[in-house]
Amino acid sequence: MGFFRTELPFLIWKRFLSEDEQFSLYKNAVAQAGGREVRIRTLNFG
């Protein structure tokens, strides 16, 4: 199982990614998992 923390790209790029950029990023992460389970944790400011 892979665990994708969505706050990391926001911290790295210092800006909010567009919906298309986020979709591309998550799609790429899932593709690289090669059929293994990937859990995507959404950004949480709390």
User: Quick one: CA dihedral 32, 39, 37, 21, positive or negative?
Assistant: negative
**In 3-state terms, the chain is what percent helix, strand and coil (to 5)?**
45, 15, 35
Only one residue has tokens 């591309």, namely: 24
**Any domain includes 46:** no
Pick left, alpha or beta for residue 14 (phi over 0 → left; psi -120 to 50 → alpha; otherwise beta). Answer: left
Total number of domains constituting the chain: 1
For residue 32, give its domain range: 2-41
Q: What is the pLDDT of residue 11?
A: 78
Q: What is the pLDDT of residue 29?
A: 87
Q: Are 9 and 43 in contact (CB under 8 A)?
A: no
**Any domain includes 25:** yes
**Any domain includes 31:** yes
pLDDT digits (tens, 9 = 90+) for 1-46: 577 777 777 778 778 889 999 899 889 988 998 989 888 887 766 6
